Amino acid sequence: MTTTAGPPGMLTADLSLLRQRRFALLLTSRTISIFGNAFGPVAIAFGVLALPGATAGTLSTVLAGNALPQLGLMLLGGVIGDRLPRHRVLVAAETLSGCAFAALAAMLLTGWAPLPLLVGVAFVAGCASALLLPSLTGVLTDVVDSDRLRPANALLRLAGNCATIGGVAIAGTAVAVLGPGVALAIDAATYFVAATLLTGLRTPGPAARVRRGVWADLREGFREFTGRQWLWVVVGSAAVLNAGTAATFTVLGPILAVERIGAIAWSVILVGYTAGMLLSVVAILRIQPGRPLRTAVLVTPLLAAPLAAMGFGAPVAITAAAAFCAGAAFNVFSVLWETTLQQRVPAAALSRLISCNYVFALSLKPAGIYLAGHFATGLGVGPTTLTVGAVLLVAGLAPLASPQVRQLTDDTGGA
């Protein structure tokens, strides 16, 4: 089975999803929430650093308090997502995020912000993320039919990318004009609005099953994860890809900007990456890959393109074009992967497998960021970017060694 273009009316049919009430509610709530998620970090950074006696270490401590539960409690979030109606889990997570950011706003507005309390509130926000993410992918299977999952994922990603760009663009101005406290209050409001919209989804509860303890559910979820070669092979590859991509855009790129090309040139490269993410949605809506995992894996070499351009000192225009290709590849991979999970994993275990996916796929990200800075210091930014690019190239294509990855078709049903 090959990748084919859809019939002429397919794009119109895909956009008709927007007329479905529950999908429209989900899309709107996610767009608003993601806007706030992009808005918040800028306000937190400026707000914390503006506190009396605050240092970069203060900000790092607060951010670490947020990041720790995101991975540490993700598996528990998966268990909860498989035990309860997923729209209720999402409502609870968005509400918890709103409360956490409202508390942060109040502390910054009053000026009473002791570090332990800041860290505690950031920890609560991290818990909300751990609760939300495992149910977020799974809830789409309750909202649209199986044959509409790919376009639904693509439309959600398009809206999310636009919301991220808008949130980041407006955040700086809002912080400068209104102050970090007011900006965080606006951020909190976005989560409350998203939670209110999600109450209208009314997804069904999970099928009746034997009640067991949390550890038993975790063990069953892990068995489901390890029992699918195509799943853990791709997740292992994604762990390296995520680490390398994070190192590229948080460490190596900024170092390159400082040493060689300047901040404006680096911004142009980032715009290229973002544009690739946005415009690739059109391609995702138009193609029907017969073997989605094989297609997803085959686009991963493009993630190494900006690293090769940076390492060889290519002109900014060429590096921006390479970044465009990388952004498109990231989006195509993500949509095809999420759709495959939603189609191939039993609904009763989906949230737990999604949580395993997040935990393992993000597990190498801190190490990648840490090592990139140290290697760039010792070897230089050019050799380091080329090395990371080579690692991404090999790691991205490695899943093709699995027959399941090569042969899995775009069918609904069991694994």
Residues 253, 361 within the same domain: yes
Across the range 14-39, mean pLDDT stands at: 86
Question: Within a domain: residue 403?
Answer: yes
Residues 322, 355 within the same domain: yes
Residue 263 confidence (pLDDT) above 70: no
Question: Within a domain: residue 212?
Answer: no
Residues 396, 343 within the same domain: yes
Across the range 385-410, mean pLDDT stands at: 89
Residues 107, 57 within the same domain: yes
At 173, list the tokens: 């101005």
Residues 239, 384 within the same domain: yes
Residue 9 binned pLDDT confidence (cut-offs 50, 70, 90): very low
- Which residue range(s) make up the domain with 190? 13-206
Residue 360 binned pLDDT confidence (cut-offs 50, 70, 90): confident
pTM higher than 0.85: no
Last residue of a domain, one of 152, 174, 206: 206
- Name the residue among 98, 155, 164, 103 with its Cα closest to residue 128: 98
> How far is it, in rounded angstroms, from Cα 40 to Cα 63?
12
Question: Within a domain: residue 216?
Answer: no
Residues 56, 141 within the same domain: yes
Question: Within a domain: residue 343?
Answer: yes
Hey, which residues does 287 pair with through a beta bridge? 5
At 383, list the tokens: 């050799």
Residue 10 confidence (pLDDT) above 50: no
Question: Within a domain: residue 99?
Answer: yes
Residues 337, 394 within the same domain: yes
φ, ψ dihedrals at 8, nearest 5°: -55, -35
Hey, which residues does 204 pair with through a beta bridge? none
Question: Within a domain: residue 297?
Answer: yes
Greater pLDDT, 125 or 83: 125
Residue 301 confidence (pLDDT) above 70: yes
> How far is it, in rounded angstroms, from Cα 81 to Cα 349?
9
Residues 150, 242 within the same domain: no
User: How many structural domains comprise the chain?
Assistant: 2
Residues 339, 247 within the same domain: yes
Last residue of a domain, one of 206, 233, 254: 206
Residue 37 confidence (pLDDT) above 70: yes
Residues 263, 173 within the same domain: no
Mean pLDDT of the chain: 82
Lowest mean pLDDT among 10-14, 165-169, 216-220: 10-14
Residue 250 binned pLDDT confidence (cut-offs 50, 70, 90): low
- Amino acid in the structure at residue 329: A
Question: Within a domain: residue 8?
Answer: no
Residues 201, 237 within the same domain: no
Residue 4 confidence (pLDDT) above 80: no
We report the CATH number of the domain holding residue 147 as 1.20.1250.20
> Could you identify the residue written with the tokens 């939670």?
195
Question: Within a domain: residue 415?
Answer: no
Last residue of a domain, one of 206, 238, 254: 206
The top-scoring range by mean pLDDT among 5-19, 53-67, 84-98, 238-252 is 84-98
Residue 169 confidence (pLDDT) above 80: no
Residues 20, 154 within the same domain: yes
Residue 12 confidence (pLDDT) above 60: no
